[in-house]
Amino acid sequence: NAGVTQTPKFQVLKTGQSMTLQCAQDMNHEYMSWYRQDPGMGLRLIHYSVGAGITDQGEVPNGYNVSRSTTEDFPLRLLSAAPSQTSVYFCASSYHDRGGYGYTFGSGTRLTVV
């Protein structure tokens, strides 16, 4: 099925560990974004990309790195996990010319840092 695929669905990390959250889309969307969702805080933008080789920071970028080497993939790297990064992470993709209209979300990665 076409859409946005996130892996893993669940992950537990120890403080200081690093890991990569994977995101892949098969809709040939230009735009891809990473959000984190915490209770009472809504969806907050971490990083986004408007095309292969182009990335930019969102509202809460500290502690995360991204790269976009292909149109399909947009991995999110946690450099040194901290308990404050315990959250649900969503990846989304979109066509540019639709503004926000065409955003498709993945099913999320639930991350716990202990």
Choices 10-18, 34-42, 60-68, 72-80; region in contact with another protein by CB under 8 A: 34-42
Strands of the chain (E only): list them: 4-7, 10-13, 19-25, 31-38, 42-51, 54-57, 64-66, 76-78, 87-94, 104-105, 109-113
- Pick the piece of the chain touching another protein (CB under 8 A) from 16-24, 27-35, 66-74, 77-85: 27-35
Cβ 16 to another protein, closest distance in Å?
28
Q: Do the Cβ atoms of 57 and 47 come closer than 8 Å?
A: yes
Contact flag: residue 27 with another protein (CB under 8 A): no
Instruction: Return phi, psi of residue 66, to 5°.
Output: -135, 160
Q: Does 96 bind another protein (CB under 8 A)?
A: yes
Using the rule CB under 8 A, is 10 a contact of another protein? no
Q: Which residue has the tokens 């790195």?
A: 65
Out of 18, 26, 41, 114, name the contact with another protein by CB under 8 A: 41
Amino acid residing at 46: I
48 near another protein, rule: CB under 8 A = yes
